[in-house]
Amino acid sequence: MNNTPTRLLIHGASGRMGQALLRLAAEDSLLQVVAAVVRKPPAQRVVDGIPHFAASELAGVPAFDVAIDFSLPEGFDPVLALCAERGAGFVSGTTGISERQQAALTAAATRIPLVWATNFSLGVAVLAELVERAALALRDGIATSSSPIMYTRRMRRPVPR
């Protein structure tokens, strides 16, 4: 088994999600945050051993394996471009990205591993999958085929007293 930690860049590190990611990564020996990126130049350059960078300094961040981006649409393009340029993985939960940005994601997906989702909640993902399956199953109208027969039989069955 490979015990080499995965090197992470956390983009949007000062935000609610970014802070949660930093906390979780610190608890996992197989993860190493090598860069935390925020919008403006950070007040402290190194926090808990993690180098911090401004968005404008993105090109100078050290080597990383995967960038995790929970920022704003304004910050989305440079971090996606950096991952594509360096051949790194890209995970993003940033919402509100434009059609142009979604097209850039699709193009980048041919070159780097990436995942973008507007909701990373497991429950929501399962619910969306179930709704999709139900929509497919009901597409041709179950009610027009088997349902009326079942209904008729039930109606004829004597009601127990």
Ligand X SMILES: NC(=O)c1ccc[n+]([C@@H]2O[C@H](COP(=O)([O-])OP(=O)(O)OC[C@H]3O[C@@H](n4cnc5c(N)ncnc54)[C@H](OP(=O)(O)O)[C@@H]3O)[C@@H](O)[C@H]2O)c1
Site for ligand X, rule CB under 6 A? 12-18, 37-40, 55, 70-72, 74-75, 93-95, 117-120
Q: Which is nearer to ligand X, 100 or 147 (CB)?
A: 100
Min dist CB 56 to ligand X, Å, is: 9
Torsions phi, psi for 119 (to 5 deg)? -150, 115
| Residue 118 token pair | 């507007």
Q: Which is nearer to ligand X, 33 or 71 (CB)?
A: 71
Q: Which is nearer to ligand X, 16 or 154 (CB)?
A: 16
Please report, for the chain, how many H helices and E strands are present, in that order: 5, 7
Min dist CB 77 to ligand X, Å, is: 9
Q: How far apart are CA 66 and CA 83, in angstroms?
A: 8
Q: Which residue is nearest to ligand X (CB)?
A: 15
Strand order in the sheet with 114-116: 46-47, 50-54, 31-38, 6-11, 66-69, 89-92, 114-116
Tell me the Cα Rg of the chain.
24
Q: Which is nearer to ligand X, 121 or 147 (CB)?
A: 121
Min dist CB 89 to ligand X, Å, is: 16
Q: Which is nearer to ligand X, 40 or 161 (CB)?
A: 40
Maximum separation of any 2 CA atoms in the chain, in Å:
80
Min dist CB 149 to ligand X, Å, is: 44
Min dist CB 59 to ligand X, Å, is: 13
Cα 67 from chain centre: 11
